[in-house]
Amino acid sequence: MGAVEGLKNPIDIVRKLVENEVDAIIMPLGTFKLTKEFFRKKEAPARILTVDFVKDMKACSI
């Protein structure tokens, strides 16, 4: 099985999407945390975070 072809390095993919001025990027929490520096500029794309339901939301921290 392994990594999906083309998605082996999500940081590079996010960097390329930001460079190409997309409007928004849907990403999981891990990628969200690893790519913060790409979203510091005002004109950066929106980040849409994918999350699963967690019974105790207090246990979650971003």
Instruction: Give tens-digit pLDDT for 36-57.
Output: 999 999 999 999 999 876 666 6
Instruction: Give tens-digit pLDDT for 7-16.
Output: 788 999 999 9
What is the total count of domains within the chain?
A: 1
Give the up-direction half-sphere exposure of residue 45: CA atoms within 13 A in the CB hemisphere.
20
Given a contact cutoff of 8 angstroms between Cβ atoms, the answer to whether 8 and 28 are in contact is no
Give a yes or no: residue 28 inside a domain. Answer: yes
> What's the pTM value of the predicted model, to 2 decimals?
0.73
Give a yes or no: residue 42 inside a domain. Answer: yes
State the residue range of the domain holding 35: 10-52
Give a yes or no: residue 2 inside a domain. Answer: no
Give a yes or no: residue 59 inside a domain. Answer: no
For the chain, where are the E strands, in sequence order? 24-28, 46-50
